[in-house]
Amino acid sequence: MRSALATSCFALMLGGCAFSAPADAYTVAEVLEDISSEDSKLDGKVIEIIGWLGQCGGNNCAIFSSLEDARKVAAYDELPDEEWMPAFDRGLGIGGNDAFDDRARLMQFSEVVIRGEINATWKVPPDESGTSFGCFDRCDDIRPHSIKLVL
52: domain CATH number is: 2.40.50
Task: Using only the alpha carbons of the chain, give its radius of gyration.
Answer: 16
pLDDT confidence of 1, banded at 50, 70, 90? low
Count the domains in the chain: 1
Give which of 86, 49, 80, 50 is closest to 68, Cα–Cα. 86
Which of the given ranges, 15-24, 51-60, 68-77, has the highest pLDDT on average? 68-77
Range of the domain at 61: 2-149
pLDDT digits (tens, 9 = 90+) for 20-60: 888 999 999 999 999 988 889 999 999 999 999 999 988 88
pLDDT digits (tens, 9 = 90+) for 86-136: 898 899 999 988 899 999 999 999 999 999 999 988 766 666 776 656 666
Q: What is the DSSP annotation of the chain?
A: -HHHHHHHHHHHHHTT--BPPPTTPEEHHHHHHHHTSTT-SSTT-EEEEEEEEEEEETTEEEEESSHHHHHHHHTGGGS-HHHHHHHHHTSEEB---HHHHHHHHTTTTSEEEEEEEE--TTTPPP-TTS------SS--SEEEEEEEEB-
